[in-house]
Amino acid sequence: RHAVQGVVFDVIKDLPAGSGIPASLAARWLIEVRRIEETNRRIAAVVGKQRETWTRCGVNAILLKGLETSRFYPCPEHRVNGDIDWWLPADKDWNAALKVLRDNNIQWAVDSDGDIDYELGGIVVEHHRAGLATPIATPESTLLLLSEHILHHALVNGAGLRQLYDYAAARKALYAS
């Protein structure tokens, strides 16, 4: 439930033999981590195609959370990712992205925040246009955005270890000296 299987696996796989991890558990964990890696490859492929489309259509779309946050992890492919989140900062970007969806006959749903979601290649994609933090490329804004994400989870369905680890990993990577 906390979606940190890959992080824990990266620690236990290097434990010395006889550390108390049953072989059957280690095997199941390895299978789970391979599933996480495969999901991340599929997500990365969809992100790549969408980035090409956004660039071709002049859409300023900024990747948030998930795959973007995994870059702070010691082993990025082991971060559990579930969907793709794009932030569209201006109305022109939002409208251009919707036009791309309409032109490709992609059906979407609108959530209670006015954001949209749809599916591409079996991956859920969300478009956001509001939020407390403006994602710009500074360490402070990155940490503010991750803090906002923790707050959102805390208010909606409970923050998990993954959201806390995202923040800690980003903090460590951004301020490493």
- pLDDT value of residue 130: 67
> pLDDT tier at 135 (50, 70, 90 boundaries)?
low
Listed residue (41, 35, 46) closest to 6, CA to CA: 35
Average pLDDT of the segment spanning 78-95: 91
Quote the CA–CA distance of 118 and 98 in Å, as a whole number. 11
Instruction: Count the Cβ atoms, other than its own, within 10 Å of residue 95.
Output: 12
| The pLDDT of residue 2 is above 80 | no
Listed residue (32, 29, 34) closest to 14, CA to CA: 29
Q: Is 154 helix (H, G, I), strand (E, B) or coil?
A: helix
- Element housing 62 (H / E): strand 62-64
- pLDDT one-digit tens code per residue, 99-133: 999 999 999 999 888 899 999 999 999 998 866 55
Specify the range with the lowest mean pLDDT, choosing from 85-99, 129-143, 152-166.
129-143
Which two structure tokens, joined as six digits, stand for 31? Answer: 């299978």
Average pLDDT of the segment spanning 17-35: 85
Backbone phi, psi, residue 35, to 5°: -65, -40
Q: Model pTM?
A: 0.84
What contacts 88, CB < 8 A, 6 or more positions away?
A: 59, 60, 61, 62, 94, 97, 127, 128, 129
Q: Which residue has the higher pLDDT, 156 or 52?
A: 52
